[in-house]
Amino acid sequence: MIDPAAPLVIGDIVDLLTSPGEMSRIVVEGLAKGSLYLMISAGLTLIFGLMDVINFAHGAFTMYGAYIAGAALLGLGVGSMGFLGAMGSIFVVMLLVFLLLAAVGVIFEVALIRKLYEYPPIFMILLTFGLAITLEELMRMIVEFREINNGQWQIDWATPRIESVPSELASVNELGFFSFTGLQLIQIAFGVLTFVGIWAFLNKTRYGLFVRAGVEDEEMAKALGININRTFTAVFAVGSGLAGIAGVMLALDPLWAVNVPLALAVLLPAFVIVIVGGLGSFKGTAVASLLVGMIDALGTWAFQTGVITFTDLDQLMIFGILVVMLILRPRGLFGVEGQGDHG
C-alpha cells in the first residue's frame, strides 16, 4: 500500500462496520441516495414500461432540471431566506420545474416520438439518443455563452450551492445512534413522496389502471376503448417532469455537480436500476433504487473511512449487480417474462 496512513486490517474494518454509529450512517445515507435514485429512475421506468421507449434523453431532462433549479435558487437568494422561506422556495421551484419539463415532454412525445411507434426499436433509440445530444449541447452553449462556468466547461456549483441552501440542511443532527443532515431527511421525504405518489397514481386512479392495462397488453387496452396515445402522452409528461424534479434534488446535493455531463451520470445508474428491478415494474424500480443506494453509500463510506483508497468502487459494484442480474435473472427482480418484448 502506498499510503502509509490508509491500511486497515480486516478486524478494523469489521469493527468499524459493525459499530452502530457507522452502520446507521450507512443506512441513512443509503436511504437518502436510494431516494435520489428512485426519483431519477421512476420516470424512465414508467416510460419504458408502458411505451417500450428507451428514453436516452431522460438524463438530459434531469440535467435541465438541475440547471434551472440552480439558477432559480441562486437568483432568488434562497440561502438568505431563512429555513421556511428557503423550503417554500425550493418547493415552488420544484413544482415549476415539473410543469415545465412535463410540457417539454408533451411536445417531444407528440411532435417526435409518436411518429416512430410503428418502427423497429432502433429508430426510437436513435431519436432519443439524438435528442439527448442536442439537449446537452444546447445547454453547453447556454452555459458557455452566459459564462456561468468562467470558461471551464465543467462547472462546480458546490460553492454557490452553499449560498443556495439554508444552513439547516447542511448541519448534522443526532438522534440516538442515528446522525443525519437535514438534506438527507428531505431527500428521504421526497423519495417516499415520489414512491407513494406514483404508487397511488398507478393503483388508485382510473388513469393508472389504464396505464397498467396498457403495459400488459396494449392491443387489448385499445380494444376496450382506452385511448392509449393520450395515455402515452400523459405518461411521457409525468416521466419527464419527474426527471426534472430529480434534477432539483441533485442541485441541492453537494455530492452531485451541476454540469452538462450530469445527464450521463444520471442516465447510467437509472438504466441499471430499471433493468435490475425488472422492466416495466415500478415496485422493482423502487427496490432496485434502494439496493443501488445502499451499495453506493457503502462504497462511499468505505472510501471516506479509508477501507479502500480508490474512488468509484460504488460504480463498480452497481454495474457488477447489473452483470450478475443479467446472467442469473435477465428479467430482473420483479420483471415478467415477455415484458418489454415486442412479441
Partner 1 sequence: MTLLELEGVHTYYGESHILQGVDLEVGDDEVVALLGRNGVGKTTTLRSILQLTPPAEGSIRFKGEELVGKDTYEVAEAGIGWIPEERRMFNRLSVEENLRAAVPTAAGVAEGLELAYDTFPILEERAGQRAGDLSGGQQQMLAIARGLVGQNELLLVDEPSEGLAPKIVTDVGEALLSASASVPILLIEQKLGLALDLADRYYVMDHGEIIDRGETAGVTADDEQLRRYLSA
Q: Enter the DSSP assignment of 297.
A: H
Cα separation, 179 vs 186, in Å, equals 14
Q: Using the rule CB under 8 A, is 227 a contact of partner 1?
A: yes
Q: How is 1-19 classified by DSSP, letter by letter?
A: ---TT----HHHHHHHHHS
Q: Is 200 in the site for partner 1 (CB under 8 A)?
A: no
How many angstroms separate the CA atoms of 68 and 61, rounded?
11
Sole binder of partner 1 in the list 56, 190, 210, 236 (CB under 8 A): 210
The verdict on 122 binding partner 1 (CB under 8 A) reads no
- Rank residues 65 and 280 by Cβ distance to partner 1 and give the closer one: 280
Q: Which of 165, 221, 248, 262 binds partner 1 (CB under 8 A)?
A: 221
202 makes contact with partner 1 (CB under 8 A): no
How is residue 229 written as a grid cell?
396515445
Give the whole-angstrom CA distance, residue 318 versus residue 276.
Answer: 10
DSSP 254: T
**Choices 107-115, 175-183, 209-217, 232-240; region in contact with partner 1 by CB under 8 A:** 209-217
Question: Residue 294 is placed in which grid cell?
Answer: 445502499
Q: How far apart are CA 18 and CA 15, in angstroms?
A: 5
Look-up: residue for cell 454509529? 21
Phi, psi (5° rounding) for residue 9? -85, 165
Residue closer to partner 1, measured from CB, 37 or 48:
48
With contact defined as beta carbons under 8 Å apart, do 74 and 80 qualify? no
By beta-carbon proximity to partner 1, the closer residue of 4 and 225 is: 225
Q: How far is the CB of 9 from partner 1 (least distance, A)?
A: 50
- Minimum distance from residue 123 beta carbon to partner 1 (Å): 17
Angle between helix axes 313-328 and 282-304 (nearest 10 degrees) is 140
Number of residues located near partner 1, criterion CB under 8 A: 19
> Interface with partner 1 includes 114 (CB under 8 A)?
no
Cα 82 off chain centre by: 28
- Residue 213 or residue 249: which is nearer to partner 1 going by CB? 213
Member of 17, 87, 125, 336 binding partner 1 (CB under 8 A): 336
* Least distance from partner 1 to the Cβ atom of residue 334, Å: 10
Query: Phi, psi (5° rounding) for residue 274?
Result: -65, -40
DSSP string, 34-78: HHHHHHHHHHHHHHHHHH----TTHHHHHHHHHHHHHHHHHHHTG
| Cβ distance to partner 1 smaller for residue 159 or 229 | 229
46 interacts with partner 1 by CB under 8 A: no
We find the least distance from the C-beta atom of residue 49 to partner 1, in angstroms, to be: 11
- Single out the residue of 216, 303, 305, 315 in contact with partner 1 (rule: CB under 8 A): 216
| Of 4, 120, 151, 225, the one binding partner 1 by CB under 8 A | 225
Among 134, 171, 173, 229, indicate the residue that binds partner 1 (CB under 8 A). 229
Name the one range near partner 1 by CB under 8 A: 17-25, 72-80, 132-140, 227-235: 227-235
215's grid cell: 403495459
- The binding site for partner 1 (CB under 8 A) comprises 206, 209-210, 212-213, 216-217, 219-229, 336
